[in-house]
Structures are given as structure tokens and as C-alpha cells.
Amino acid sequence: MKIKWKIVLVFASLIVAAITVINVLYYFNISRFIENEHINQLSGYSKTGYQLLDNKYPGDWKVEGEKLYKGDILLNDNYEFVDGFAKDANIQVTIFLGDTRITTSIKDAQAKRLVGTQASDIVVNKVLTHNEDYLGKASIVGREALTYYVPIQNSDGTAIGMWFVGIYLDDIGAQIIKVVTTSIIVSAVILMAGCLITYIIGNTIGIGFNKIRTDLEDFENGKFNHSFNIKYMNRKDEIGAISKSYSNMQTHIKSIILSIKEEILKIERSSEESLLSVNEVYNNIENISVTTEELSAGMEETAASTQEMNASIHNMESEVDEVARKAEQGENIVKEIKKRAEQLQQEAQESHKNTMDIFESTSENLRNSIKKSSAIEEIKALSQSILHITNQTNMLALNASIESARAGEAGKGFAVVAHEIGNLAVNSKEAATQIENITTEVSEAVKALVKDAATLLDYVEHTVIEDYGVLVHTGEQYYTDANTVNEMVTEIKRISDQLQTSIHYVKQAIQEVAAASNQGAEGASVISEKSTSIVTQTEEVVKQTQANKESVDVLNEMVQFFQI
């Protein structure tokens, strides 16, 4: 049953119950009231009629035989007054002579007046015997009536008859029924008006509730894209309060759903970007792993090369020691030559002059070349290889740092290793650069030394030997040449000592490069292992990211149920 009919039914039931109780009480009260009112009216009518009769027919009441007179007027069968008064007052009127009706307005079913009939013994006893008024109910021609009897007295106060006024109880009942009927009609009108008003109110409430029910059904179906009727929201009753509450709830739910949709889009985009990034990281990690393995192999090759370089430096050191020893022997020989040259000083002046010209030019070149001969060409080639490897190592360390930063927390350990590799690469590069510089200088010095030595040997072969005979005769020149050779041998010994020191430094640097290469190889192995672990973890991250994306798709499909 709809709420409006429930309201109408409840209100109608209450009205019916109230009207029923009121009408029942009204019936009994109005019955008593009308009856009392008629009693009072009968008393008043009795007095009024008796007074009118006395005024109409002045004189005393008297009886002459079977006839009753008022003054000189015979009242037996005199219907003028009783009919007129009965009609005016809408009552029944009778005049008794003793206990017998002599004139009356009462008629039977055949319209015959009830003249000659007697009153009841109770009335006669009360009125005629005791000379008192009688008020009560009596049966008249089979009809119950409310009656009022007054004794008619003669001049000496003796009751000689009775003055009667009465009204049938069914007439009173008809009046009561009329009043009650009117009351019932009014009650029915009130009931119908109340039902109509209640229906209107219930219908208004029902429409409001139906609107709310319709809106809630829309909510149930996920439709949040309509607005509540302002008319219902502006109402000051519960419907308005409920409408406002549901409107506020709709606004909040719409806001929540919109926020959820926005967050779903963000999560979806983030998941897609994360999936792409993780896949990229995964691919880069695999590349890094391969590169790290190559780097490890390169480091191992570098270590092997440095070992070979170390052996070469060791051989070079032995050769330089031999040069120093030969220089020392040459110094002793030069001393002997100097002694012999003293004897040939005079003969050797001319040769001395020629020899000094060539020697000064060649000696200067040879001295400069020997200063630069602290490295060898092979060391230069190896140092360039080391420098190339360190550059690659530095680039790999930089790429590893970038990829570890993209990996976030999972790449912190990898970032530390990448940083250490970068530092190792920088140190290796610096050492390799120093080696390359030294090697370049040594290479240039050796080339110049070879050239100057060739010039010197050419001079000795073609000039000194050919002029040897002349030098024998020119002691001064021979003596000068001996001094020159002594200085050259001394210089060679000094340069040999410097070369030994440089070779020692180069050897130490190569050993450091070898150690760094070994450490780099070990670090590269660790990086390779870490890269393998990161690849495994990255695969798991890819799976989790894909699962998150699937969950976001399911959540997005659920949220699409709501229409905002």
C-alpha cells in the first residue's frame, strides 16, 4: 500500500472513530437536551396557552352538568382555540372536564378526534385528586408522548378539569434524528473533507517520497548525473530535509567517485609508465650485465698486458744497468786515453777543433734526447690501451649510475658499486695519462738518441778513425777529445741513473695499474652478479606492475558503473 493511502486510511480511521464517539455522545446528550428542552417548552406552552385561553375567554371556569364553561363560552366540542394553538406551537392540546376530553386536537388514524376518552388513573390522581401539575410520559392513541397536565380550577379552587399540552415522543425522536442526521452529514462532510485534505497532504508527501524513491533507484543503478528538484529541497518538512540530505550525499558521492576516477587514471598512467620504465630498466640491466662481463674480460686482459709490460720494464731496467756498467768502464778507458792524449796534445789541436764543432752540435742533441729517454714506445702503446679501457670503464660506470638511479631502492647497492668503478676508472685514467706522457717523452728521447748516436758513430767512423793518425800527432786535440768523451760518458752514466729512476716509477705505476685492473675485474664480476640479481628482481617488479595494472582496469570498470 502506498504511503498516501496509508496516511488517508489512518487519518480517516481516526476521524471516523472521533466522529463516532462524538456522535454517540452527541446523540445521548442531544436527546436529553431536546427532551429537557421540550419539557421546558411544554411548561412554557402550557402556561402560555392557558393564559391565551384565559384572555380569549375571560371569566371563571364552571361546570354545568356535563358541560364546561369559561365565562360564558362553552368549551365542549370547541376546537377553534385548541387547533389554533396546537398548530402554532406544533403540539397537541386537550381540555378535560374531570377526566374526560371535551375538546382536543388529537386525532386517531381515521382523523377522528379523541373526544370522550379518559385520562390515565395516575394523571387523574395527581392532577384532579391532589390538584397538582403532572409531567410525564403517556400513551396517546398507541403513541408515546411527553405530556404536561395542569388542573383547571373553579372560583373556589376546586379542580374541575385539566389543561393538557403534549408532544409525541416520535416527533421528539424525529427532531433528535434530524439533528443527529445533520450532525452525521456534517461529520461525513468533515470526514470527506478531511480525507480529501489528507489525500492531498498524503499525495504531496507521497509524491515527495516517490521522487526520493525514484532518485534512490537511480542511485542504485549508478546514476548520479541528475539533480534533486529544488521545490522539494526548499520544503521545510522532513521531505525537504531528506531531499537536502540526499542531495548532499549525492554531491559527496559524486566528488568521491570523481576523485576515484582521477586517481584511477593517475594510477593507470603511472602503471603504464612504470611498466615501460621497468621494461627499459630490465633491458638496460641486461645490457649492463653483458657490458660488465665484457668489462671484466677487458680488465683481465689489461692485467695480463700490465704483467707483460712489467716484464718488459724489468728487461729494460737490466739493459739500463748494463749501459751504466759500460759507461763506468768507458770512463776508465777514457782516463787512459786522456793520459795518452796528453802526449799528443799538440798534434791533436787541429783535430780537436773539428771534433769539438761536431761534438758540440751532436752532444747537445744527444743530451736532450737522453733526458727524454725515460720510457719506451711499447709502454706508450700499452698506456694508450689502458687509457682507452679506463674511458670505457668510466662511461660504463656513468651509465650504471644512471640506471641505478632509475631503479630506485633496488639500485642503491648497484649505485655504490658503479661509483667505486667510476673512481677506479678516474684513477686508472690519471695513471694511464701519466704513463702515456712519460712514454711519449721516452719514445721521443729514444728516437733522438738513436739519431744522435748514429750521427756520432758516423762521425767517429768517417772522421775520427780517418783522422786517427792525425790525432796521434796532435795530442792536444786528442787530449781535448778524451775530455769530451769523458764528459759524454759521465753524462751517459748520469742519464742512465735518471732512466733507472724513471723506469722504477714506471714499473711502480704499471704495478698499480695491474692492481687496479685486478680490482676492476673483481668489481666488474660483482657488478655482473648484482646485475643478474637486479634482472631477477626487475622481472618480479614487471609482474607486480602488470598485476597492478590489471587491478586498476578492474577498479576502473567497476567505477564506470556510476554515471556522474
DSSP characters for 401-420? HHHHHHHGGGGHHHHHHHHH
Rounded Cα–Cα distance for residues 54 and 66 (Å) = 21
Q: Of the candidates 341, 345, 367, which has an alpha carbon nearest to the alpha carbon of residue 476?
A: 345
Q: Of the candidates 370, 374, 369, which has an alpha carbon nearest to the alpha carbon of residue 500?
A: 374
pLDDT at position 101 over 90: yes
Rounded Cα–Cα distance for residues 500 and 48 (Å) = 173
Band of pLDDT at residue 127, cut at 50, 70 and 90? very high
Band of pLDDT at residue 124, cut at 50, 70 and 90? very high
Taking the CB of residue 249, how many other CB atoms lie within 10 A of it? 12
The pLDDT score that the predictor gives to residue 289 is 67
Q: Are 39 and 146 in contact (CB under 8 A)?
A: yes
Beta strands in 407-469, from DSSP E residues, in sequence order:
none
- The listed range with the strongest mean pLDDT (15-24, 326-335, 363-372) is 15-24
Determine which of 113-117, 128-132, 428-432, 560-564 has the lowest per-residue pLDDT on average: 560-564
Q: What is the mean pLDDT of residues 4-13?
A: 70
CB-based contacts of 546, cutoff 8 Å, min separation 6? 275
pLDDT at position 484 over 70: yes
Rounded Cα–Cα distance for residues 261 and 555 (Å) = 9
CB-based contacts of 399, cutoff 8 Å, min separation 6? 284, 288, 291
Q: Let me know the angle formed at the C-alpha of 481 by 478 and 485, rounded to the nearest 5 degrees.
A: 140
Q: Are 441 and 375 in contact (CB under 8 A)?
A: yes
Q: What are phi and psi of 35, to 5 degrees?
A: -65, -45
Residue 45 carries which side chain, given as an amino acid letter? Y
pLDDT at position 309 over 70: no
CA 17 from centre of chain: 56
The pLDDT score that the predictor gives to residue 254 is 66
Q: Are 146 and 35 in contact (CB under 8 A)?
A: yes
Domain boundaries, the chain: 3-194, 267-559
Q: What is the mean pLDDT of residues 144-166?
A: 92
| Per-residue buried b or exposed e for 105-131, using 16+ beta carbons within 10 Å of the residue's own CB | bbeeeeeebeeebebbeebbebbbeee
pLDDT at position 347 over 70: no
Better-predicted residue by pLDDT, 156 or 403: 156
Beta strands in 441-556, from DSSP E residues, in sequence order:
none
Q: Is 314 helix (H, G, I), strand (E, B) or coil?
A: helix
pLDDT tens track for 197-245: 877 877 777 666 676 677 767 766 766 666 666 766 666 666 667 767 7
- The listed range with the strongest mean pLDDT (37-51, 142-156, 363-377, 536-550) is 142-156
Band of pLDDT at residue 192, cut at 50, 70 and 90? confident
Band of pLDDT at residue 480, cut at 50, 70 and 90? confident
Q: Is 323 helix (H, G, I), strand (E, B) or coil?
A: helix
pLDDT tens track for 30-64: 666 666 676 777 888 889 999 999 899 999 999 99
The pLDDT score that the predictor gives to residue 74 is 93
pLDDT at position 460 over 60: no
What does the DSSP assignment read for 119-186?
A: --HHHIIIIIIT---EEEEEEETTEEEEEEEEEEEBTTS-EEEEEEEEEEHHHHHHHHHHHHHHHHHH
Q: What is the mean pLDDT of residues 509-524?
A: 68
- Please state, rounded to an integer, the average pLDDT across all residues of the chain: 74
Better-predicted residue by pLDDT, 93 or 356: 93
Q: What is the mean pLDDT of residues 527-534?
A: 72
- The listed range with the strongest mean pLDDT (19-23, 73-77, 244-248, 373-377) is 73-77
Using a 10 angstrom Cβ sphere, with 0-12 exposed, 13-18 middle and 19 or more buried, the burial of residue 331 is middle
pLDDT at position 363 over 60: yes
Q: Are 480 and 358 in contact (CB under 8 A)?
A: no
Q: What is the mean pLDDT of residues 516-539?
A: 71
Protein fold of 3-194 = Beta-Lactamase (3.30.450)
Determine which of 201-215, 337-351, 381-395, 462-476 has the lowest per-residue pLDDT on average: 462-476
